[in-house]
Amino acid sequence: MILMVGVGIVGIGSYVPPKIMTNKDWENIVDTSNKWIVEKTGIIERRISEPDVCTSDLAVFAAIKAMKMAKIKPEDIDMIILATSSPDVPLSSTAGITQNKLGCINASAFDINAVCAGWIHALEIGTKFTADNNYENILVIGAETYSRIVNWKDRSTCVLFGDGAGAAVLQKVEEGKGMLGTWIKSDGSGANVIEIPAGGVRKSLSSDSFVEGEQYFQMNGRAVWDFAIDAMPEAVINVLKRVNRDLSEVDMIIPHQANLNIIKEGMKKLNLPMEKTFINLQKYGNTAGASVPIALSEAVSEGKIKSGDLVVTVAVGWGLACGANAMIWQ
């Protein structure tokens, strides 16, 4: 259904830690090579948080930039929705911790987890709340510290990820601009394609069945590839169909920044040139639920997205989950 009330992004910002870790650095830790990483993923470097920096800290830095662009103060925020799969702690919510650090004293706050597709889902939730007359300013954040949840001895996964955060402020806008609609989909039969097997109630770290290494991120790379190369174009096509727009009208696609080859394959299936997408994974690696808002923020700041452009944000996450948002940029 197309939204009849205009809701759009009026402020956006992103943050990545200053510490750069290159492929050459990884060569000194695990059996890998710069050539292999670049050829398989397109990643050249990624950002790593210092030990005293948490996911909530990254979220705060990105949120401050988004609020500055929106010209609002922390106390103006009515709600914080934080998409993350690397929370500060299992309990309480990282959104609540972020709310306290920001000083958003009038805001409700909660986390959602759709892994890499989390921000796509969070943006849809935020849009629905913003359309309600009871809410004026909603902060939608994607923030991750994957450097803490990957196994630094597992060369198949540790080289892929980086840390960062992106945030957007949603407000009511002129009808005809802002969010047009969202399409999201899940397939729980693939929940174990990417997972952290231990640390939850199914298998605690003190369980007799716990095996060292199960507390870290694990991934079936082939299954990820097979799902992602079809799910990305499927999401784009379905969201455009939902909002009665044609693929030829799209000015920019902001995809989840996981793998350059997956993005190329997806754009090929859509029959769209790479010039209609934005890529920054070479600098940051896969920042999971933060990758789309970081890329969107950078595309805006670099002038790649202009007022009136039809923009589609799209991500494939695990659970399995995928989705896309369509919007007319302010």
Return d(Cα 224, Cα 261) in angstroms, integer. Answer: 12
Q: Evaluate the CA torsion angle 321, 322, 328, 329 in order and state its sign.
A: positive
Strands 7-15 and 163-172: antiparallel
Q: Which two tokens stand for residue 129?
A: 């709340």
Q: Mention every residue, 6+ apart, whose C-beta is less than 8 A from residue 201.
A: none
Nearest Cα residue to 162 out of 18, 318, 38: 18
CB count in 10 Å sphere of residue 96: 19
CA separation, residue 268 to residues 13, 230, 251, 271, 273 (Å): 30, 11, 16, 5, 7
Q: Which two tokens stand for residue 42?
A: 């397109």
Q: Identify the active-site residue in 116, 151, 280, 325.
A: 116
**325 included as an active-site residue:** no
**Residues 47-97: tens digit of each pLDDT:** 999 999 999 999 999 999 999 999 999 999 999 999 999 999 999 999 999
Q: Which two tokens stand for residue 267?
A: 């754009």
Q: Identify the active-site residue in 54, 113, 158, 256.
A: 256
**54 included as an active-site residue:** no
Q: Which domains, from first to last, does the chain contain?
A: 7-176 (3.40.47.10), 180-328 (3.40.47.10)
Return d(Cα 266, Cα 325) in angstroms, integer. Answer: 16
**104 included as an active-site residue:** no
Q: How far apart are the first and last CA of the chain?
A: 21
- pLDDT (tens digit, 0 to 9) for every residue of the chain, 330 residues total? 444 569 999 999 999 999 999 999 999 999 999 999 999 999 999 999 999 999 999 999 999 999 999 999 999 999 999 999 999 999 999 999 999 999 999 999 999 999 999 999 999 999 999 999 999 999 999 999 999 999 999 999 999 999 999 999 999 999 889 999 999 999 999 999 999 999 999 999 999 999 999 999 999 999 999 999 999 999 999 999 999 999 999 999 999 999 999 999 999 999 999 999 999 999 999 999 999 999 999 999 999 999 999 999 999 988 899 999 999 999
pLDDT of residue 1: 45
Look up the pTM and report it.
Answer: 0.97
Single-letter residue type at 160: L
CB 115 within 8 A of CB 224: no
Return d(Cα 215, Cα 197) in angstroms, integer. Answer: 6
